[in-house]
Each structure stands twice: as structure tokens, then as C-alpha cells.
């Protein structure tokens, strides 16, 4: 396989432009197909790309059973014809270079309607067929150093759910403690309580809209500082 530096450089240039086309919601499938083929022809990639669509059903020839009978072959970006869409199929790619591998990935994503987007939590990109899926399946890089209970590694979606619940409970306990303090109940520092409640609400909105590890740490650090400073006491 060819791993030339120039081949790799041009492959990633093509990949960046191709992903932008795949993610474009205002383009039809056929428009994307045409633009990807134009992009491929205009690129400097040295391609020997070929995709073989195979039938997964068993077929027999000369007494030999096989599961990978080629039923269609592609050497450009295109979608299986209607006469094979109702057949259970899979793709086999022949790749002789990095460029071929990149084009094979884009072809697969195009045929099956994948988009490549950043995870709402960790920021790493992943492929999905639905934009309703906003979290990847990777293990979250976030570790809650503010919790006495050591958190176990979990996927991004589960980490976000757990951490938002943790922060909401931590925030509620702190505000209840402040509200029930003698100085606040007597009205001496009620304005401090109102300010802290508003700031907590803003932080809560932040971690819900952008549940990143950095924002989780910011909110945790803020709550710790409030608890230590005790500004609500006279």
C-alpha cells in the first residue's frame, strides 16, 4: 500500500472537503453524488478505488458455497440501483493507497447516509445517520475530581446524564443551606442569596446547553468556592 507523504496530504484535503459535502443538509443525495465526483476528479489523488457490493445470501457455483457474490461494482461515487436495494448487501473495498482508503470511507458514508459531526460532550468527531444523536460512544475523558465518590469511566452520553444530575443536586443542597442560614432568613444577606441563585441558574443552563468537561469543571469549581467563602454570612 502506498503511504507517500504527498498522497496522505492530498487525502486529508479531500477528506475535509468531502465531509463538508456529506454534512450539507441543503443538498440532495444526487447533488452530493455529483459534487463528490467532481471533487474527486479535480483532486490530485492517485486513485485505484473500487467498491464491490456483495450479496450476503448463500449462493452455489460448481458445488462451492459462497457468501460474497459481487452483484455490483463502483469506481466512482454512486448509490446501488433500485433493483438491488431490497437485497441484504455489504461492501467490499479494494484499497491500494491511503487515498483509496479515504475515498472508500466517504463512499460508504454517502451510500448509507452518514454525517460526521463533533460530539456535544467531548468534541471528538463521529459518524451518525441521525443528527438527533449528539453524543459519540467513546468513553468520556471527564473525571469528576470534586466528588468524593470516584466516577467510573462511562460513554459520553451516560457521563453527561450522571454529571448534570450530580451538579443539580450539589447546587440544590448548597442553595438550601444558604437559604436556611440565619443571616439570610433575617434578611441581612438575602441579596447575596439572590445573586448566588441567579449565578447557579446561569451555570446550570450552561452545562445543559454545552455539557463539556470544561464547563462541568467550571461549575464544580464555582460551587466549591461559594461553599468555602460563605459570603452569605455577616
On whether residue 41 sits in a domain, the answer given is yes
Pair (26, 95) in one structural domain: yes
Do 166 and 224 have their domain in common? yes
Shared-domain flag, residues 16 and 88: yes
φ/ψ of 162, rounded to 5, equals -65, -45
Does residue 171 share a domain with residue 94? no
| Average pLDDT along the chain | 80
54 pLDDT more than 80: no
Coil, strand, or helix at residue 69?
strand
- The residue among 113, 148, 165 that closes a domain is 113
pLDDT level of residue 69 (50, 70, 90 thresholds): very low
| pLDDT of 115 over the 50 cut | yes
C-alpha cell at 129: 445517520
| Window from 24-28, 29-33, 182-186 with minimum mean pLDDT | 182-186
Same-domain pairing of 82 and 30: yes
In a domain, 79, yes or no: yes
Out of 51, 86, 113, pick the residue that ends a domain.
Answer: 113
Mean pLDDT over 20-31 rounds to: 84
Bigger pLDDT: 94 vs 55: 94
> Considering the domain boundaries, does residue 146 fall inside one?
no
**CA torsion angle 20 25 31 37 (round to 10):** 20
The answer as to whether 222 is a domain residue is: yes
Query: Which has the closest alpha carbon to 19: 125, 115, 126?
Result: 115
The alpha carbon of residue 39 and the mean position of all alpha carbons in its chain are separated, in whole angstroms, by 25
Q: What is the mean pLDDT of residues 27-43?
A: 82
Q: State the CB neighbour count (10 A cutoff) for residue 80.
A: 15
Residue 108, in any domain of the structure? yes
Domain of residue 209, residue span? 156-229
Domain count for the chain, please give it. Answer: 2
Residue 127 resides in a domain:
no
Residue 198 pLDDT greater than 60, yes or no: yes
In-domain check, residue 219: yes
Comparing 61 with 39, which gets the higher pLDDT? 39
State whether 28 and 102 are in the same domain.
yes
Q: Mark whether 9 and 109 lie in a shared domain.
A: yes
Asked whether residue 132 is assigned to any structural domain, the reply reads: no
State residue 43's pLDDT score. Answer: 79
99 lies in the same domain as 11: yes
Provide the pLDDT for residue 57.
57
Do 84 and 173 have their domain in common? no
* pLDDT above 90 coverage of the chain, percent: 33
pLDDT score of 224 more than 90: yes
63 falls in which pLDDT band (50, 70, 90)? low
Using the 3D structure, point to which of 113, 135, 167 is the last residue of a domain: 113
Q: Which of 6-15, 64-73, 157-166, 169-178 has the lowest mean pLDDT?
A: 64-73
Structure confidence by residue, pLDDT tens digits, 167-185: 999 999 999 988 888 877 7
Residues 26 and 102 in one domain: yes
Amino acid at each position: 500500500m502506498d503511504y507517500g507523504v504527498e498522497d496522505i496530504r492530498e487525502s486529508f484535503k479531500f477528506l475535509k472537503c468531502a465531509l463538508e459535502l456529506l454534512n450539507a443538509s441543503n443538498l440532495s443525495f444526487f447533488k452530493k453524488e455529483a459534487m463528490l465526483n467532481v471533487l474527486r476528479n479535480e483532486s490530485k489523488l492517485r486513485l485505484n478505488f473500487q467498491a464491490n457490493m456483495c450479496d450476503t445470501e448463500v449462493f452455489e457455483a460448481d458445488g462451492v458455497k459462497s457468501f460474497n457474490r459481487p452483484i455490483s461494482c463502483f469506481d466512482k461515487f454512486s448509490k446501488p440501483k433500485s433493483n438491488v436495494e431490497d437485497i441484504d448487501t455489504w461492501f467490499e473495498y479494494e484499497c491500494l493507497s491511503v487515498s483509496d482508503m479515504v475515498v472508500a470511507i466517504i463512499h460508504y458514508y454517502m451510500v448509507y447516509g452518514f454525517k460526521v459531526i463533533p460530539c456535544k460532550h467531548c468534541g471528538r468527531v463521529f459518524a451518525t445517520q441521525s443528527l438527533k444523536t449528539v453524543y459519540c460512544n467513546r468513553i468520556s475523558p471527564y473525571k469528576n475530581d470534586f466528588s468524593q465518590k470516584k466516577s467510573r469511566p462511562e460513554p459520553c452520553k451516560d457521563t453527561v446524564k450522571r454529571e448534570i444530575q450530580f451538579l443539580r443536586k450539589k447546587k440544590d443542597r448548597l442553595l438550601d443551606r444558604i437559604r436556611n442560614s440565619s443571616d439570610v432568613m433575617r434578611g441581612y444577606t438575602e441579596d447575596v442569596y439572590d445573586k448566588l441563585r441567579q449565578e447557579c441558574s446561569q451555570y446550570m443552563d450552561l452545562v445543559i446547553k454545552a455539557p463539556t468537561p470544561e464547563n462541568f469543571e467550571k461549575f464544580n469549581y464555582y460551587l466549591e468556592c461559594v461553599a468555602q467563602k460563605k459570603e452569605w454570612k455577616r
